[in-house]
A and B are shown apart, each in its own frame.
Chain A
Amino acid sequence: MSKLGTITRRTFLFGSVAIAGGLGFGFYKYKQPIDNPLKADLADGSSALTPYLLIDQNGISIIVPRAEMGQGVQTTLAALVAEELDVTLDQVNVIHGPASAAYFNAAVLEEALPFSSIDTGTMANGMRKFVHVPAKLLGLQITGGSSSVADAYEKMRVSGAAARNVLVKAAAQQLGVSTSSLRTENGSVISSNGETISYLELAAAAGAIKPDSELQLKPRSAWKILGKSQNRIDIPAKSTGAAEFGIDVDLPNMVYASIRVNPSLGAAMNSYDASKAQSMRGVKKVVEIDNGVAVIASNTWYAFKAVNTIEFDWATADYPLDTAAHLKAVEDSFTSDNQDSQFRDDGDVEKALKNADQIISAEYKVPYLPHAPLEPMNATAWLHDGKLEVWAGTQIPTQAVKEAVKITGLEQSNIKIHTTLMGGSFGRRLEMDYIIQAIKVAVEMPDIPVKLTWTREEDMTHDNYRPIGIARFKAVVGDTGPTAIDLQLAGASVNASQMGRLGIPAAGPDIAIVQAAWDQPYGVENFRVTGYRVKNDFPVSSWRSVGSSQNGFFHESMMDEIAHSKNLDPMQMRIGLMTHEPSRKVLEAVAEMSGWGTDLAEGHARGVAFSLSFGVPAAEVIEIAIIDGKVKIVNAFAAVDVGTALDPRNIEAQVMGGLNFGLAAAIMGDISIKDGQIQETNFHQYRSMRFYQAPAVEVRVLENGDRIRGIGEPGTPPAAPALANAIFAATGQRIRELPLSKHIGFV
């Protein structure tokens, strides 16, 4: 086993001081301190100073309670603690740690509020503080919404500072000197005459000391780690096959399972015949679980093979049975009784449209999309000695505990979730389906650990998808840009679907339906954005950048149409409309980077798009070449503003990856439904970007924003419209439907 998700029992730790309630900082203003979850797992006579730090005889371990799915969070969040503690990243172990409400994420709920992320008004800020309370009460330890850095920025630095504070005090006591005569460096306290005591030696004494109630965080000018590109801690293992993902978990006497569930999502299994499977080589047991059957075998492949021989009689789906019917449902939802929100209604749109000489209008469509992370869904569960242990890549470990309690009836204290590295997620591992299945299979195999692995076919056809959607707009365009816009967006509620599966009530409008459309910082005199909710039982979910993934395409294709309708430069028009300084600056930066306005080779063209999502303004330019009538993506340029850039090179990687993720879906991403079942079963049908298709990507990271932001998602939304706009610039063909390859060929 790797150290990930495991806290060693050899730990001898400092005395028990939870920082909760002890510090005079905003984030711990609640009356009831949350227990430090590390205490439960420590050897006798030991405890942990803060929920983010353990010191044992092998050194210092920083707990980063956010899921590593490729975004580098384990490195960046560890750096927050390391900076204040005065240790280097190569001096520490980084572990995910246990599932605990103490690790609730306050920032993630802010995105769900009907305030633009750049709105710093009293009402908006008041509401942001308010949602930290339900976040705490829900105890939702969640990785998502590009929120990890914003959530951790203060509390993990404070945690490092508190630990440093007591270590210095312990050294002062030992040396009989004042704390002010001591300094810290590289994991040691150093006295004025050069005596050096390592944190390791001070740990036991420091544990009995309470930190000061007011702690000073380092000013940015004193940062040694933060603000500078770091070598990611997970990359050496990931480059040598040594990294342990969920699918790699290995336990003594483990058996292997796979599953087949009704391909009509959520529908029942009427009957099945597994007589053939029962007698196949390696098969140990066939068990019925929710809407399907699992086979347990001595090797994953034996389980796959046996599952394929089972004959099923499936019930029919409760949702529309084919793609055309789903599209019809979206078309039919543009009615007042399906109206979900109208967060923006500036000026008088009706009047402006009525008085206009000319109105331009269009309709846009996007398809369902799967998350399709490269590591298929899997989880390992082991019911033994009255306890349940689960190993899984999950973005919500505390929810996994709740599901485990429901299934096993065990006390929460007897359930342990080991959060593993994940081979991608893009929102997929916010779901509990594969974890619930693994636990149910484990209940059928007491005392024996079971690893459940889905086939790619099961994974592709049993996802919870990015919703299909339609946008309709009407606009009046003046000499410098739009004077009136009426934008209507229809799609299913990701929030209601997802929260429904988690058993959390989701009342009110779903911001995701209009995200990155209603809240864009363009000044337009008459501007109305209306969201309509499509109501059916087809499971939908957050897909990297959520509602911004389709609305970025809708909004920014629309802005391009508006510009071209009056022969305005699409870049200059956007810059002229910007009401938010950091947003204007990312456009200016990307214009400069891409050489916007300068001549290109014959057959080349550029397209631009801008999206503000998750508080990050992101502007992208895609340069394409038309070769024999087909599109070749040549170069991509992106400028983003994260407020404070903790790790520039990792931020660049996330923007590059987010952009490519958006391009892949824009070019060829498509999920279709027939007879209630997903038709694309594997990567030969659900195609994704290949090496030869990937453009060179140049990224610039700006820091003009008012506060720190996360960057896992904001690179995605502008990619599709920038590409579609480049295709228009090159060919005059305005493509209003994704994937683009339905309408034009790609090299």
Chain B
Amino acid sequence: MKINVNGQSREVDVAPDMPLLWVLRDELNIKGPKFGCGIAQCRACTVHLNGQPVPSCSLPVSAVGDGKITTIEGLGSPDAMSVVQAAWVEHQVAQCGYCQPGQIMTATALLSSNSNPSDDEIDTAMSANLCRCGTYPRIRAAIKTAASIIREIELLPTDAASAREGESS
């Protein structure tokens, strides 16, 4: 079957009930989404399906269809980070770093639908993602920084906004 990952169509030959996570990791060598629990309890495996955060460990690949999958690799790279990733670096969020791809995917989905989330809204959006190192306060700070940058971009005229996006990535 074919799946669309980070803008590319990829052919995979796997059991239809294989969770998307293991298709990404072991078949396509896309290692950003992490295995933590296998039962959607930790969300280290979070990817976007058509822009919505989903736990890829619990999503059979056959359910993806022609939906567009984005992984952490699809947001940016160490040399060209997304606004949210750059905010994570600015606030020095990561400790062990294992949950952070999932945290960033969830935060990115939140901010793309709400660029001015309240603390309660951040709590609600982020509480499915587990961090054992206890980095939550810095995650909150990074989300707020990213949100303010995104709001700035939104206020700019279109041309300037794309230039600004280029800068921060």
Contacts and interface: CB of A to CB of B under 8 A. Distances in A.
B134 A656 contact: yes
Contacts of B156: none
Given A241-B31, A245-B98, A375-B96, A301 B132 contact: no
A70 B94 CA distance: 8
A250 B133 contact: no
Interface stretch (B67-75, B147-155, B157-165): B67-75
Nearest to A451: B26
A70 B42 CA distance: 18
B81 A684 contact: no
Q: Quick one: which of A236, A238, A304 has the most chain B CB within 10 A?
A: A238
A301 B134 contact: no
B78 interface: yes
Contacts of B22: 299-301
Nearest to B82: A240
A682 interface: yes
Interface string A265-291: 000000000000000011000000000
B130 A374 contact: yes
A691 B126 contact: yes
Interface string B38-64: 110110100000000000000000000
B98 A241 contact: no
B111 interface: no
A22 B162 CA distance: 59
B132 A244 contact: no
A69 B96 contact: yes
Contact of B95 (A653, A689, A697): A653
Nearest to B85: A239
A640 to B, nearest CB: 15
A649 B141 CA distance: 14
Contacts of A245: 34, 98
B117 interface: no
A601 interface: no
A298 to B, nearest CB: 8
A299 B26 contact: yes
Given A235-B93, A239-B89, A426-B132, A682 B37 contact: yes
Given A247-B34, A374-B42, A70 B26 contact: no
A239 B96 CA distance: 11
Contacts of A232: 92, 94
Interface in A579-593: none
Given A421-B97, A690-B127, A694-B134, A241 B18 contact: no
A72 B95 contact: yes
Interface in A364-407: 372-376
A415 B97 CA distance: 29
Contact of B25 (A244, A298, A300, A653): A300
Interface stretch (A216-224, A488-496, A659-667): A659-667
Q: Is the interface of B mostly helix, strand, loop or mixed?
A: loop
A131 B61 CA distance: 56
B95 A657 contact: yes
A326 B130 CA distance: 30
A657 to B, nearest CB: 4
A362 to B, nearest CB: 29
A673 B4 CA distance: 45
Contacts of A457: 38
A683 B76 contact: no
A248 B31 contact: yes
Interface string A664-683: 10000000000000000011
B118 interface: no
Given A237-B78, A682-B39, A374 B89 contact: no
B167 to A, nearest CB: 17
A514 to B, nearest CB: 27
A241 B32 contact: yes
Nearest to B134: A660
Contact of A241 (B71, B129, B133): B71
Interface string B122-150: 11101101111111111110000000000
Contacts of B94: 70, 232, 234-235, 238-239
Contacts of A302: 15, 18
A441 interface: no
Q: Quick one: which of A235, A453, A697 has the most chain B CB within 10 A?
A: A235
A718 to B, nearest CB: 14
A374 B73 contact: no
Interface in A410-437: 421-426
A231 interface: yes
A688 interface: yes
Given A236-B89, A250-B31, A300-B25, A424 B136 contact: no
Given A72-B95, A453-B35, A281 B15 contact: yes
Contact of B36 (A242, A243, A456): A456
Contacts of B85: 239-240
Contacts of B101: 241
B127 A691 contact: yes
Interface string A254-270: 00100000000000000
A243 B136 contact: no
B99 interface: yes
Given A239-B78, A455-B38, 6 more contacts: A70-B133, A240-B75, A240-B81, A301-B21, A691-B127, A696-B137
7 contacts: A240-B77, A248-B31, A374-B44, A453-B35, A664-B134, A683-B37, A684-B39
5 closest Cβ pairs, A-B complex: A241-B32, A660-B134, A423-B98, A238-B97, A70-B96
